[in-house]
Structure formats: C-alpha cells, structure tokens
Amino acid sequence: MTPLHASEQGRVADVWRDRLALLLESTGEGIFGIDMAGCCVFVNRSAARQLGWPAEQIIGRNMHVLIHHTHADGRHYPECDCPIFNAFRQGLPCRIDDEVLWRADGSAFYAEYSSHPIVEHGQVQGAVVTFLDISERRRAQELQRVRELAQHQESVREAERTRIAREIHDELGSLLVALKMDVHWLARRVAEREELAGKCLGMGRMIDTAVDNVGRIITDLRPSILDHQGLWAALEWQAQEFIDSAELDSELQLHVAAGVQPPDGALAIAVFRIFQEVLSNVARHAQAKRVQIRIAVDDPPQPVLYLDVRDDGVGAEPQALNAARSYGVMGMRERAAQFGGKLTIDSSPGLGTRVRLVMPLPEAFA
C-alpha cells in the first residue's frame, strides 16, 4: 500500500473531523467535553438545547458549577464528589441514572449520563460526557410503581373484605339463626299469653331484618355470585339489583360472545368494582329519570369487554370530573388502567352522563 502524502493525510483528517462534527450535531444525546479544570471545551447542539444555554455561553464554563451543583433534594453537591470530574481526576468512568442536571432557567431534570476520560499519548486530557433527559422515563416508572402499589393495596383490601364477609357469615349469621330458633321455641310456649306472644313475634321480625341486613353487608363486602358464577353473572345481577332498587325507567342489554369465559381474580374484581361505582354515582348524584346499561363482550380470539352506562340526569362540568379531588373518578380510571383498560366519561350540565369502560380481556379467557 502506497503511503499517503502529508497533504493527502491532512485532507483525510479534515474529512473525518467534519464527519465527527456532523455526528456530534446530529445525535439526540447531549455531548460535551471538559478539560482538566472541568471547563467546557466543546458542546453539541443537543446538549445546549437540553441545558437551555447558547453554546457560546457554555464554552469555558466550569460544568459542575453550571449544571451539576445541587442534588435533587436541594443539598449542595460538592465538586470533589462529582462522578463527571472523577472520570479525569481519578480515571473512573461512570454511568449514572439517578441524579439531576440543572438548566439555565434554574429548573432541574433527571438525566442519564456517562463520563469517560480523554487520553492522548498516555496522558489524561479531560473527559467527554454524554447525557440524556430521562424525566419522562422516570415519570412513567413512578406512575407504574404507584399503580403497582395501588393494585397491591386493592388486593389486600379485597382479601380483607373476603375475610370479614366470611366471618360475618359464619359467626354473626349463625348466631342470628340460633336466636331465631330460640325465639320461635319461646313463642310456642307462650302462645296463650297474648302480650308475650306479640313480643316474640316482634323479636322474630327484628331478627329477620337483621338477617337481611347482614346478607346485604356481606354482599357489599364480597358478592358470592362473583366467586361462584363468574363476572358475567355478577354484572347482570348487580345491574338488576340497581334497576330494582333505583325506581328508574331502565334498559339492560347483555351480550357475551360464545366461547368467552369470564375472567377471574384481580381483573374480575376491578371490573365489578368499577361497575358498582358507576351505578352508585347514578343513584347518588344523577337525579336521573332513565338509565341505559349495556354490557357486551366481543368475539375471540381477542375479546374486549364494553360497559356502557347512560343516564338523562343533571350531568356535570367536564372540569369537575377531571379535578384533582375527584377521587372516585380517579380510582375508576386507575383500576381500569392497571389492566390495560380505559374509562371515559362524557357529561354536560343538564344533558346527562355517559360512562364507558373498554377492557381488553386476556386471550386465556377466550
């Protein structure tokens, strides 16, 4: 191979330098270089944009003082502890994803950054730093953690509801049945004494009322139909219970495609509790005269559950439904989101409300 002349070598070097500069400017990552004093010697366009400084105002500045001076909690960040600077001071390359960098306007953002020493002829000359704003990733991770925590708490609550319902059924239910039998026994023996017989009859009625109330409480805590007959039957039962008690002009439609088995576990509980909350809101707030309830499940192999509840009540301002203190609405939306579902509410004052849940069902239930 014929060696290149000096002029040719210079031309090749210029080409590669131009290509390197183009690469630095075209990447989405922020990149800057620092000398042995920690001062910026070059910075690419992405870094300047993310930091909010014009590039010419970054060159020559101490980068720790400029963008890395404070921890996320407001504590001072000593320069001697800076991993970026330790890359050239101690020869320790780093990759960090739990710290913040600071913008020109004083705001901070979580960044994933790395710092590697620049070595020429065996001597460290500084470091090159790359970074990327990961604020959105962090927010998504925090949201996921919050959802997982909420799902865990909901599972704990459901388990506790189930335990309490079982104990009420086994303990209080048994006591009431025994008390009913004793009152019946006593009534037979005082049948000739009208006053005592009447008292026993009244006690029996009170016990019957207590039994009914205990049954209602048990059902509210954990409807047995959900465990014994599945979600489809539980939704139909809950809708019919609402229609019977609400005294509204009501319409119920239920269609489940053939071959789609009801989901169980946490998903079934989430759908059922959302449905309960929707109907409860209609009863408490809507002041409606008519309500339409539609429950439909698409065909396999990718079935989707649709819950649609419409009323002709007073409605609400959209801002009220999206307010930070609309805990019921937030809870329903979060329950749906935990399983990939989506809950939407369309409402206007005087025009009623429509609540729609769209919940994809796992293929295992098809």
Confidence class of residue 22 from pLDDT cuts 50, 70 and 90? low
Confidence of residue 107 (pLDDT cuts 50, 70, 90): very high
Beta pairing, strands 30-34 & 123-133: antiparallel
* Assigned CATH class of 6-133: alpha beta
Six-digit token string for 89: 């001071």
**Token duo for residue 230:** 């599945």
| Sheet with 123-133, edge to edge strand ranges | 40-43, 30-34, 123-133, 108-120, 94-102
Percent of the chain with pLDDT over 70: 92
Most confident listed range (110-114, 279-283, 359-363):
110-114
Q: Quick one: pLDDT band at residue 2, thresholds 50, 70, 90? A: very low
Mean pLDDT of 195-210: 85
User: How does pLDDT run across 45-72, given as a tens digit for each residue?
Assistant: 999 999 999 999 999 999 999 999 999 9
Burial class of residue 191 (count of CB atoms within 10 Å of its CB; 0-12, 13-18, 19+)? exposed
Averaged pLDDT for residues 348-359:
92
Q: Are 167 and 214 in contact (CB under 8 A)?
A: no
The residues that bridge with 39 in the sheet, in sequence order, are: 62
Phi, psi of 253 (to 5 degrees): -120, 130
Four-way CATH pick for 225-365: 1.10.760.10, 3.50.50.60, 2.20.25.90, 3.30.565.10 = 3.30.565.10
Q: List, for residues 301-346, the tens digit of each pLDDT value.
A: 789 999 999 999 998 888 777 776 677 888 888 889 888 899 999 9
For the chain, give the longest Cα–Cα distance: 131
* Average pLDDT over all residues of the chain: 85
Q: What is the pLDDT of residue 13?
A: 41
For the chain, first and last CA: distance in Å? 68
Asked whether the predicted pLDDT for residue 191 surpasses 90, the reply is no
Q: How many CA atoms lie within 13 A of 328 on its CB side?
A: 16
Q: How many CA atoms lie within 13 A of 272 on its CB side?
A: 28
pLDDT of residue 15: 41
CA 171 – CA 167 distance, rounded (Å): 6
Give yes or no for residue 16 having a pLDDT over 60. Answer: no
pLDDT tens per residue, range 126-177: 999 999 999 999 998 888 887 777 777 777 887 787 788 777 777 787 888 8
Q: Containing H/E element for 193?
A: none
User: What are the start-end ranges of the H helices in 114-193?
Assistant: 135-167, 173-189
What is the percent of the chain where pLDDT is above 90? 42
Domain boundaries along the sequence of the chain: 6-133, 136-222, 225-365
301 preceded by cis ω (within 30°)?
yes
Can you tell me the mean pLDDT for 358-366? 76
Q: Is 70 exceeded by the pLDDT of residue 6?
A: no
- 242 CB-near residues (< 8 Å, 6+ apart): 250, 279, 282, 283, 293
pTM, two decimal places: 0.58
